[in-house]
Each structure stands twice: as structure tokens, then as C-alpha cells.
Amino acid sequence: MKMKALSKKTTTIIASVLLVFLIYIGYRVTESRKHMDNLKSQATQNDTPSVAIVHAEPLPAKETIMLPGTIEAWFQAPIYAQVSGYVKMWYKDWGARVKKGDILAEIYAPALDAQYRQSKADLASEIALNDLAKLTADRWIALRKNQAVSEQSISVKVAEAKAQQAKVNAARQNVSNFEALINFKTIVAPYDGVVINRAINVGDYINKEGTISTPQGEVRNLYTVADISRLRLFVSVPERFGALMHDGLKADLTVPQFPNRHFTAEFLTTARGFNVSTRTVTTQFVIENIEKDLWPGSYASVNLTVDVENTHLSIPSSSLVFDEMGTRVAVVDDDSRVHFKPIKITRILDATVELSEGVTTEDRIINNPSAALLEGDKVTIVTPAPGYDMINAPHKPASESSKPASHAETPPESSKPASNAETPNPELTQALKASHVR
């Protein structure tokens, strides 16, 4: 009985040990499968690329362009010699402010003075001969009553008197001509302005061909007087913006001599015709130069803010893909899969490009796409950590600039250069050319 009881107890223990062993084996198998599933899931996740996305943005309704301009005087008159002679004296030097009629210089012309005196003497002689002719004609007409002379003789004397009167008129006109030339001996300012050029000195011989120091074949003016109370600003506007010039449009400008001051010019007119060599149109603005700070001939940097109807979109240049298929972008669909779309670029700007077709504002465009991405690849969309998102980073407000002088205009916010100023990106341009070559 004892042996039977012992055998039964041993069997129970062995069965219990086997059961525990089977349970342990089952647990280990289950845990291993879970661990393998986790590893597989993690490997799958690690194999899925992470991407950051951007969206195409519509261009603003206003666009600011920076263009070079040239400032010219409202009126600018080069004054040339009309008589030959020597400079007797000049009275206004470079930079002198003059009024209309102010004497600039005097010319000593002895030959002209002698011709003038001769013309007056000729006039006196013709007047005397005319008086004699009139007296003779009157006497012959009086003899008609007595029929002492023939009608033919009377007609001849009357005609001679009329001819002599015509000579008097011619001599008088000759004197007037010389008087006009005599007036040109005095060089005067044609209007209120500033002397911006004096090309004569005392003793210089001058004539209609210039001065004695003038190279042969070159005509040099004696003075140049400019009216700078108002100025003309000439700007060559690109063809795209030519039709957008209109009355009331204002331009903000700076000049090298006053880098921290801004001036305002108002639209005056446009040439309404493009220069075929530059594809620009000459546009004229008016500057009220009340304090005479701006000078003619100055170079100006002109900011023009115009209303535009933009249907194009803008994307970062870092989102472009260049391959044998041309220029494209990679977008992520609703299933988080990659698809490549061809695009049409209209302008290459600094950090962005302008597109006319290919994407919409709803498309999720991959920024800085990897060269390993293929059509249909699954990706994970992530948000870049602060400091790494250079596209969507908020812009810091610009510090408020100091107030300009009372006569200088502060540029409106819209007249500041736009962030998408047309500054070509050389690397991007080269990449675009290379993609088209392939």
C-alpha cells in the first residue's frame, strides 16, 4: 500500500512539473512573438521616411519692385554764343543761384560794334536819299498841270521814290538785326535756377562754334542753367509693370548722398512704347524739390508699389526636385504616399519661386525632399523642431526707424522692398538649366 501511495505521489509531482514547464514554454513563445511583432513594427516605422511639408501661398495683390532711376532738372538750358568776341567778364560761377534776367557774362565784340555803327550810317544815308527822291517826285507831279514833263517821266520819279523808301526799310531792318546781335553780347539767365556749368574765362575768344580751347568740330556751351525747384525722375519700368503706371502713383526713392532719407515722387507720364532692346518703358515722375537738396544728374534707387492681379503661387525654392523628368515637386496624398507633380516656373526669386501651374494651396508639398524618395513611397509627416523650420519661422518685427527730416518723406509700409524682390538665385538658376539640359 505504501509503495502504491508513493508511486501515485511521484506521478502527481511529475505531472505538475510538466504542466508548469508547458506553461512556461507557452509564455516564452507568446512573449517572443510579441517581441518580434514589436521589432517588426518598429523596423517598419524606422523604414518610413519622415518629411516636413509646406503649402503653396498666393502672391500678394500688391508688389514692390526696386529700379534704378535718374534725376534731371525740370528745365535745363545750355547757353551758347551767338556772336564772336572775347569774354569781357563773367559774374556768376558754378552753383550760383540766379533770377531770370540776371547777367551771367559780357562779351567784347569790337567787330560787331563796328558793323552796328556802319548799319546805322547806311540807314542815315538811305533816309537822306529817300527824302531827295520824295522831293523830286513831288516836284515832277506838280509840273503835270503845265504839261512841262511827260507822264512817263513822272511815273519814273514816283517809282524811284518808292524804291528808295524800300531801301530805307531794308537799312532799318539791318540796324534791327545788329541791335539783336548786340543784345547777345550780354549773357543772361533765361529763368530762375542754378548755374551747374561755366565753361568760359575772361579773355576767351568765343563764337558760334564754341571757344578757342574747344576741340575742332565740337560746340561747347558757355553756361548751363537748371531749374531745380522741381525735378524729373526717369525710370525704365519693365514690360510686365508698364501698363500698371497710373495717375496718383507715388514712388519712394533714396539717393547715395542721403542714404538715410526718403523722398517721394509722383507719377507724371509714361512713354507708352517699349524699348525693344531693354523691353522697358520710360516713365517720368515729378519731385517737389522745395529745399533744393536734390541735384540734377543724381542716381536714385526707386521703390514702386503697384496693384497686381496675381493668380500665381509661391513655394520655397528648397522644395524643388530636379531630375530627368524636369523640374517637379513631391506632394503627400491622403494615404501619406509620395507623388511627383510637374510645375511651370514663371520667376525665380531669392528664396522662393513663382509658379503658374502644377500645384494648389491645398497640396502638401515636401520641403527639402530626399533624393531617395520614389513615386508611391509611404512617408511620415513631422513638424520640424523650433530653430530648424526656416520656412515657417515667424518673422521678427523690424525695429522702428528714426524719423527723417521734415522735408524728407517717410516711406509707407507698402513701399519697402518686398521679400520676393526679383533677385535671382544663381545656384537655383544653374540647377534649372541643368535639369532642362537633361
More confident call, 19 vs 97 = 97
Task: Tell whether the model's pLDDT for residue 45 goes beyond 70.
Answer: no
Q: What is the pLDDT of residue 391?
A: 55
Q: What is the pLDDT of residue 256?
A: 95
- Percent of the chain at pLDDT > 70 equals 82
| pLDDT tens for each residue of 35-44 | 777 766 665 5
Q: Which residues have a Cβ under 8 Å from the Cβ of 108 and sit 6 or more positions away? A: 85, 86, 87, 88, 185
d(CA 227, CA 61): 39
**Secondary structure element (H or E) that encloses residue 207, with its range:** strand 205-207
Long-range CB contact pairs, 185-188, < 8 A, 24+ = 185/83, 185/85, 185/106, 185/107, 185/108, 185/109, 185/112, 186/103, 186/105, 186/106, 186/107, 187/79, 187/103, 187/104, 187/105, 187/106, 187/107, 187/222, 187/223, 188/101, 188/102, 188/103, 188/104
Q: Are strands 50-54 and 299-307 parallel, antiparallel or unpaired?
A: unpaired
Plot region of 376 (φ>0 → left; ψ -120 to 50 → alpha; else → beta): left
**Secondary structure element (H or E) that encloses residue 29, with its range:** helix 2-47
d(CA 144, CA 158): 13
Task: Tell whether the model's pLDDT for residue 416 goes beyond 60.
Answer: no
Q: What is the pLDDT of residue 298?
A: 95
Task: Tell whether the model's pLDDT for residue 261 goes beyond 70.
Answer: yes
d(CA 365, CA 377): 14
Task: Tell whether the model's pLDDT for residue 129 goes beyond 70.
Answer: yes
Task: Tell whether the model's pLDDT for residue 410 goes beyond 60.
Answer: no
Q: Which of 40-44, 236-240, 247-251 has the lowest mean pLDDT?
A: 40-44
**Secondary structure element (H or E) that encloses residue 436, with its range:** helix 426-437
Q: What is the pLDDT of residue 405?
A: 37
Q: What is the pLDDT of residue 240?
A: 86
Q: Kindly state the average pLDDT of the residues 414-431.
A: 45
Q: What is the pLDDT of residue 412?
A: 40
Q: Which of 428, 436, 434 is nearest to 316 (CA)?
A: 428
Q: Kindly state the average pLDDT of the residues 83-90.
A: 93
More confident call, 64 vs 435 = 64
Q: What is the pLDDT of residue 431?
A: 54
Average pLDDT, the chain: 83
pLDDT band of 228, cuts 50, 70, 90: very high
Q: What is the pLDDT of residue 34?
A: 78
Q: How buried is 222 (Cβ within 10 angstroms: 0-12 exposed, 13-18 middle, 19+ buried)?
A: buried
Q: 110-184 belongs to which CATH class?
A: mainly alpha
Q: What is the pLDDT of residue 87?
A: 94
With 0.85 as the threshold, say if the pTM is over it: no
Residue spans of beta strands (DSSP E) within 212-290: 223-238, 250-255, 258-270, 280-288
Amino acid at 149: V
| pLDDT tens for each residue of 321-341 | 988 888 999 999 999 899 999
pLDDT band of 415, cuts 50, 70, 90: very low
Bridge partners (DSSP) of residue 322 are 327
Q: What is the pLDDT of residue 387?
A: 56
Q: Where are the domains of the chain?
A: 51-60+312-437, 110-184
The most confident of the ranges 39-43, 195-199, 420-424 is: 195-199
pLDDT band of 49, cuts 50, 70, 90: confident
pLDDT band of 148, cuts 50, 70, 90: confident
Q: Kindly state the average pLDDT of the residues 410-424.
A: 40
**Integer CA distances (angstroms), 401 to 238, 243, 253, 254, 260, in order:** 30, 33, 16, 15, 10
Q: Kindly state the average pLDDT of the residues 336-357.
A: 88
Task: Tell whether the model's pLDDT for residue 406 goes beyond 70.
Answer: no
Q: Are strands 103-108 and 85-90 parallel, antiparallel or unpaired?
A: antiparallel
Q: What is the pLDDT of residue 422?
A: 44
More confident call, 202 vs 396 = 202
Is the domain covering 51-60+312-437 a CATH 3.40.50.300 domain? no
If you count them, how many residues does the chain have?
438
Count of beta carbons in the 10 Å neighbourhood of residue 387: 7
Q: Which residues have a Cβ under 8 Å from the Cβ of 248 and sit 6 or more positions away? A: 266, 267
Q: Kindly state the average pLDDT of the residues 347-359.
A: 86
Plot region of 334 (φ>0 → left; ψ -120 to 50 → alpha; else → beta): alpha
The most confident of the ranges 5-9, 160-164, 431-435 is: 160-164
Q: Kindly state the average pLDDT of the residues 434-438.
A: 44
